[in-house]
Structure 1
Amino acid sequence: MNHFKTLCVCLFASIILPQSILAQSTSKYDQHQLFAPFFFTHNGNEYRSADGTPGPKYWQNKANYEIHATLNEQDTLLQGEVHIYYTNNSPNPLAFLWLQIDQNLFVPTSRGAATTLVSGDRFDVKGYKKGGEHIQSASVIYKGKTYVIKPVITDTRLQLRLPFAIKPNGDKIIVNIKYSFSIPQYGADRMGRLYTKNGVIYQLAQWYPRMCVYDDIRGWNILPYMGQGEFYCEYGNFDYYITAPASMIVAGSGVLQNPEEVLTSTEIKRLDEARKSDSTVQIIKEDEVGTASTRPREKGNLTWHFKMENSRDISWAASKAFRWDAARINFPSGRKGIAMAVYPIESQGYEGYGRSTQYLKQSIEFYSKTYFEYPWNSAVVVAGVALGMEYPGIIFCSYKIKNANLWHDVTHEIGHNWFPMIVGSNERRFMWQDEGLNTFINGFASTAFNNSEYGNHDYPSISPRMGLMMGNATDPLMTAPESMGFRDVGLYYYKTSLALDILRNDVLGPERFDYAFRYYIKNWAFKHPQPDDFFRSIDNAAGEDLGWFWREWFFTTWTLDQAVSGVKYVDDNATNGALITIENLGQMALPVTAEITEQNGHSSIIKLPVEIWQRGGKWTFKYNSTSPIKSVVLDPKVHYPDTDRDNNTWKAPQ
């Protein structure tokens, strides 16, 4: 009721206010665009409900993998055989299958190579002559019968055209593929080889043919891998075997199944100690790196066997140059896990990877407690050639970074285990849905770690920079990664994160937002949400029609410019109250927070909802002043990316 009275007073004041006191200014604002009806272009259906939850007939296909791979260090070659146990849960028969063979990015004639800048870029996929996935054979087993299939390869996609159709609603098929590829030294900043004084560190990712997702939105999702756009994968169980030189340590997604065969009794004992310790335990110490004492044997090969359940991908690393640390993870349910770090001695030390196990452990504990419990029992950070890349249960970070940079890289990459490894969005099409949501939660983890040692929720620094960045942007967040301008890619991370911060703190309030955000995560864990599913989830759980907010932040490049136009007094007497006029000059609109200071020293914070801008770009409200106004400041805590902060402040003439 008080809110209603305030709006009535504001409306009345705007009606009686003489037009002569309204400041003349150039405005880009059109309320009809911002508050246009029909934000959602389609209704909910039986697969995806209108309230943002999976519908009663939601389905997704499943892919279980058994993989056997051998690392041939002499030829830097990986040879593998994958058996994919695929279930068609869709309501449609499938006459063909599509798989991702991402190593074809490194073929010199790939689309990714062709679209790389002459000057190079972060992914720099040009010039690897030995690159590419070599498919040696492909076959399927269906209804007990084996069929040899000639694969049809188009850039980074492989199609298997079947002599039959896989039936809908649970029919199964087994896909068998033998393959090999030469490991690139710099694998598009996602994998590769790092040469250290104690040996090569191999980071292996996109290392086996993977099923493309077949979903209810697009059918087969077959966008090629070109470097910038990341991944969209089906969920399933992984049972994989890595054969590598016996001198190497292998770190992988999931849980090691045969420690007695590939580790020494000392390493097994130290790992047991680590599982009981919140402090970091050294599994392989500095003076033990590369020595015979760390391996069951030095000659020949050893096969490491890992399993991971209900995951959308796996990755691994191998080297004889690894130091190895570990510590216990404590989950909210009481379950225990283990966090580990492997890194070369070039990266060791308190400022370097000596703290990385704690960074990993405490990040996982924070995200598990705050959002959704980490579903797996282990995680490992690997120092290597990749600047920063995430996979379920394993992350790759640059061996060079230290201190705050290392913390932020570790907490960001492991944060991706929530978006998109648990909440399985389509990274290749909607980059903001994983990078942005992850960057948002990273800020809270940084504030929580070690009394905010690396806290980064610094609005007075971030928001003006974002205002400048948004003012220069040419692409909205809904732009696909490969179409986003190179200078605008950071918007996926920071514009999305800032949008959610503002939605949480200035539009909905923390309690409403946090409930809705967790509601989205819970409903879409291990599923494939689309952007609309996120928008609808927040709208419904928070109880707010946010079409205007989603439109301006995610579908446009609109910018914000709030201004104070003027101050007048009722009957020219400050003790009768002040009439304060504000304007919305940019096409983006947000609620208004105004700090009003009187000459008698009294100060107040006034908050107005975004609805004041529904009828136009000017609004006048009455402030019950008791003395002349000294100043009016909009957005006093600098939360907003206002493109012109000079007009945010009005000061009384001297």
Structure 2
Amino acid sequence: MKFISLFTLSFLFSLPLFSQNQQYQGKFEPIDNMIPQPNVYRSASGAPGKAYWQQRADYKIKAALNERDNILSGDETITYYNNSPDDLRYLWIQLEQNVNKKENEDFGYAFGNVRDSMNTRHMQFLTRAIDFPAGYTIKYIKDANGNAIESLVNNTMMKVLLSQPLKSGESLTFSIGWSYHITDRSMYLLSREGYEYFPEDDNTVYLIAHWFPRMAVYNDTEGWQNKQFQKLGEFALEFGDYDVEITVPADHIVASTGDLKNEAQVLTKTQQQRLAKARKSVDKPLMIVTPEEAETNEKNKTIKTKTWKFRAENVRDFAFASSRKFIWDAQAVPLETHTVMAMSFYPKEGLPVWNESSTRAVKNALEVYSEAVFEYPYPVCISVNTSNIGMEFPMISFNGGRPVNGKISDRAKGGMISTIVHEVGHNWFPMIISSDERQWMWMDEGLNTFIHQRTMKERYPDYPHTQPKSIVPFMSGDKSIMRPIMTSSDNDLLSQFGANYYQKPTVGLQMLRQSIVGEELFDQAFKEYANRWKYKHPNPADLFRTLEDATAVDLDWFYRGWFFTTDNVDMELINVKWFTVSNEVNIENKGKTVKANIEAENAGENTQDFTSGPEEITMVTTPDQAYGQFLSRMDEPEIRKQLYGKNIYEITVKNVGGLVMPLTIEWQYTDGTSEIDTLPAEIWRTNEYEITKTFIKTKEVKKVVLDPNFEYADTEMNNNSFPKVEEASDFDKFKDKNKN
């Protein structure tokens, strides 16, 4: 043990510690006891460990769309690779279509009770008065030799019972035959897939997603991730290769995950020529199927069929859309190592904004994300127009936003573009950096929204984008019903869903990047996390550890407060004291001055503003015993010389909201100039509730403001100034405007 002198100990113990009437919360304690411990699978640095493993599932699927009855049927062969160290006696398969059965919960109840004059659609959400068929019919499960395999269905999960364990390092091939009724998206809430019917021309757009039985994830942290699908929490899936054949009416156009492998059989020669030309068009999108051709298809329905063949490599899911209504445009987007085809599919109801804006938005997202995260690896990136949603899958997304009677407001257009950018961004989070959306939705929605908002700010600066002050109305809310970010999505309130999983993580990352870590260092660390965990399954601890590992910044205090609590930022500037130092050493006068200052302070003087002028103080000679055993002495006359004529300001700040944050202090001087001082969050280490800090200024201060640029989502800016402000600030106006 190192020897510490009594002088040093007495000095340390004289520092102000935690207030006696407040309970110590340990805001700077490590979060090691709140996250899983590192091991051979996940290292203490946040990187995958040397023994990291994950499973794999390859699929061969043949599916057929029955447009007359709205039924999708399929036969699939799964080859499942057990790369875990465990022998598996059974497998879990996800059957998400079962969530649409009547006995499962919907979310109509979350939007109000039965009341007079309520609309019929709302009543349908509450009661399902018009029932509709839904859920899988499993026709068979067979092994590679055609023998039946026993299974048990538990709602949205199916347990496949193996006749003998699947040993570590082995693989298993088996087949499933299935069918289900595609649901009408207008009939229930939170519909991520299904069909949209257009009565005017008696046609349908099919959005086909979580449509085939899919392997659940088995990993080192949870074992089987077989949490039931309840619509809010999305998906955890294994990577693999897909060979998919989709049979649809011959006049349908199919947009899909993967590379189209038989375009000569499903496209006309003219369409093939246009597509070849589009592959070289880097300046603008070109039409593959024109509006006129789509309208002709709408009128002339056929009973013939075509089979579209696609292959996708190293993806965790597969989705497609099909309709005779589709207009199709495409453009080449050159990236550093390869060229991606950005494409959009939309009905005529999307004109004129979709042909103008969709593929361009895809292009912008591909370019910004590839720079900020890592290069987009797949050959195509598709945006499909639909109503009311934005939903992502590898290489394809379904995006809402349409004009009304050919017109769209700037706000609606901005929302449409923002939705497309966001859903394209999900190719990175979680389609490649494959976190468990059902358990930690913020890891894909929050991280994706962070780069999505950066894209909007860079490419669409005229449209609104999330920034720290955007989260203030939520952070100012009722703490009794608020939940931390580190809550699984199905257990959060619908009213808080967007703020807690999208906005709050985004703002947290923005604060780290812009104000706490710094852009260059943070960007390097964020890319490090992305590249470490591409095509893998990260957990929150892997992100937290990587950001610290790659920045050399202790961020446990930030993680603890921002992710694990519902505290908010509210820093109150209690007081600013103004001093000047006398050029004389006068012990007698010093005593009188101190007494006078105490009396003035008790009387409320010199605490509201700077009108009373500075308090003059003296400094006495340092006694020898204060130096302990040091023999050298400071140049005290020089210290007095440096301070004489200067202004000394002592500020006192109270942590009202509970979250510790760095302090940004703006000094506004009487000559009209200003400057900024920044103190790190560590200023709160010895007292998490109130701190005092002293500054020397040459100029006289007129006003002091905390967080002048709204960097830290402070929920009450009216207590951030000295002298105190009497009238509503611009920030109050912002909060009032965004209250709802």
- Same fold, TM-score > 0.5, yes or no: yes
Conserved? CA contact 2:31–2:560, under 8 Å: no
In the other structure, the counterpart of 1:184 is 183
Whether 1:49 aligns to 2:43 is yes
Task: Give, in angstroms, the shift of residue 587 of structure 1.
Answer: 1.4
Whether 1:591 aligns to 2:637 is no
Q: Residues of 1 paired with 2:75 and 2:127: CA distance?
A: 27
Match of 2:255 among 251, 256, 280: 251
2:383 partner letter? V
Q: Residues of 1 paired with 2:435 and 2:481: CA distance?
A: 24
Conserved? CA contact 1:463–1:640, under 8 Å: no
Match of 1:291 among 280, 293, 296: 296
SS for the counterpart of 2:288 is strand
Task: Give, in angstroms, the shift of residue 168 of structure 1.
Answer: 0.3
Q: Sequence identity of aligned pairs in percent?
A: 34
2:489 partner letter? P
108-117 or 191-200, larger mean C-alpha shift: 108-117
Whether 1:500 aligns to 2:502 is no
Match of 2:416 among 390, 393, 406: 406
CA distance 1:648–1:39, shift in 2 (3 Å): farther
CA distance 1:211–1:15, shift in 2 (3 Å): same
* Pairwise CA RMSD: 2.9
CA distance 1:653–1:446, shift in 2 (3 Å): closer
Whether 1:304 aligns to 2:304 is no
Match of 2:78 among 74, 79, 84: 84
Task: Give, in angstroms, the shift of residue 258 of structure 1.
Answer: 0.3
**1:186-335 equivalences in 2 (<5 Å):** 186=185, 188-196=190-198, 197-198=200-201, 199-278=203-282, 279-291=284-296, 298-333=302-337, 335=338
SS for the counterpart of 2:697 is coil
1:283 partner letter? I
2:232 partner letter? Q
Task: Give, in angstroms, the shift of residue 175 of structure 1.
Answer: 2.1
622-631 or 83-92, larger mean C-alpha shift: 622-631
**1:316-465 equivalences in 2 (<5 Å):** 316-333=320-337, 335-349=338-352, 351-400=353-402, 402-449=412-459, 452-454=461-463, 456-459=465-468, 461-465=469-473
**1:565-584 equivalences in 2 (<5 Å):** 565-570=574-579, 571=581, 572-573=615-616, 575-584=646-655
2:555 partner letter? L
SS for the counterpart of 1:560 is coil
In the other structure, the counterpart of 1:485 is 493
Task: Give, in angstroms, the shift of residue 628 of structure 1.
Answer: 3.5
Conserved? CA contact 1:28–1:587, under 8 Å: no
In the other structure, the counterpart of 1:165 is 165
Conserved? CA contact 1:471–1:559, under 8 Å: no
Q: Residues of 2 paired with 1:381 and 1:266: CA distance?
A: 22
SS for the counterpart of 1:314 is coil
Task: Give, in angstroms, the shift of residue 245 of structure 1.
Answer: 0.5
2:422 partner letter? H
2:213 partner letter? P
In the other structure, the counterpart of 1:645 is 717
Output one character per residue of 1:396-423: Cα deviation in whole Å (capped at 9) or x when no partner.
0125365201110000001111100010
Conserved? CA contact 2:719–2:725, under 8 Å: no
- When normalised by structure 1's length, the TM-score is 0.90
Conserved? CA contact 1:123–1:228, under 8 Å: no
1:210 partner letter? R
Q: Residues of 2 paired with 1:517 and 1:283: CA distance?
A: 38
Whether 1:546 aligns to 2:555 is yes
280-289 or 225-234, larger mean C-alpha shift: 280-289
Conserved? CA contact 1:311–1:392, under 8 Å: yes
1:467 partner letter? M
CA distance 1:16–1:363, shift in 2 (3 Å): closer
Task: Give, in angstroms, the shift of residue 29 of structure 1.
Answer: 7.2
Q: Residues of 1 paired with 2:450 and 2:673: CA distance?
A: 36
Q: Residues of 2 paired with 1:123 and 1:511: CA distance?
A: 52
Whether 1:560 aligns to 2:569 is yes
- When normalised by structure 2's length, the TM-score is 0.80
Match of 2:677 among 606, 611, 619: 606
Conserved? CA contact 2:92–2:158, under 8 Å: yes
Conserved? CA contact 1:331–1:369, under 8 Å: no
Task: Give, in angstroms, the shift of residue 443 of structure 1.
Answer: 1.1
Task: Give, in angstroms, the shift of residue 207 of structure 1.
Answer: 0.4
CA distance 1:237–1:540, shift in 2 (3 Å): same
Task: Give, in angstroms, the shift of residue 31 of structure 1.
Answer: 5.6
In the other structure, the counterpart of 1:3 is none
Conserved? CA contact 2:648–2:697, under 8 Å: yes
Task: Give, in angstroms, the shift of residue 267 of structure 1.
Answer: 0.7
CA distance 1:30–1:592, shift in 2 (3 Å): farther
SS for the counterpart of 2:233 is coil
Q: Residues of 2 paired with 1:130 and 1:315: CA distance?
A: 22
Task: Give, in angstroms, the shift of residue 648 of structure 1.
Answer: 0.7
Output one character per residue of 1:449-499: Cα deviation in whole Å (capped at 9) or x when no partner.
15x24362555x515334325857511111111110121111100000000
Q: Residues of 1 paired with 2:334 and 2:347: CA distance?
A: 27
CA distance 1:399–1:603, shift in 2 (3 Å): closer
307-316 or 637-646, larger mean C-alpha shift: 637-646
CA distance 1:298–1:463, shift in 2 (3 Å): closer
Conserved? CA contact 2:245–2:307, under 8 Å: yes
CA distance 1:421–1:375, shift in 2 (3 Å): same
Task: Give, in angstroms, the shift of residue 42 of structure 1.
Answer: 4.1
CA distance 1:292–1:130, shift in 2 (3 Å): closer
1:271 partner letter? L
Q: Residues of 1 paired with 2:183 and 2:298: CA distance?
A: 31
Q: Residues of 1 paired with 2:524 and 2:340: CA distance?
A: 27
561-570 or 509-518, larger mean C-alpha shift: 561-570
Q: Residues of 1 paired with 2:205 and 2:22: CA distance?
A: 55
The number of equivalent residue pairs is 628
CA distance 1:265–1:30, shift in 2 (3 Å): farther
CA distance 1:313–1:147, shift in 2 (3 Å): same
For structure 2, the 5+ residue unaligned runs are 1-10, 114-120, 404-411, 582-614, 617-644, 727-740
Structure 1 or 2, whichever has the larger Rg, is: 2
In the other structure, the counterpart of 1:625 is 697
Q: Residues of 1 paired with 2:86 and 2:664: CA distance?
A: 52
Higher relative contact order (CA 8 A, sep 6+): 1
In the other structure, the counterpart of 1:6 is none
Conserved? CA contact 2:298–2:325, under 8 Å: no
Conserved? CA contact 1:112–1:225, under 8 Å: no
Output one character per residue of 1:53-109: Cα deviation in whole Å (capped at 9) or x when no partner.
000010000000011100000000001111111000000001001000000001101
Task: Give, in angstroms, the shift of residue 162 of structure 1.
Answer: 0.8
Task: Give, in angstroms, the shift of residue 600 of structure 1.
Answer: 2.9
Q: Residues of 2 paired with 1:541 and 1:192: CA distance?
A: 43
Task: Give, in angstroms, the shift of residue 242 of structure 1.
Answer: 0.5
Output one character per residue of 1:280-335: Cα deviation in whole Å (capped at 9) or x when no partner.
1011112111436999x9541000001110000010000011111111111122x1
SS for the counterpart of 1:579 is strand
SS for the counterpart of 1:34 is coil
CA distance 1:158–1:609, shift in 2 (3 Å): same
CA distance 1:123–1:606, shift in 2 (3 Å): farther
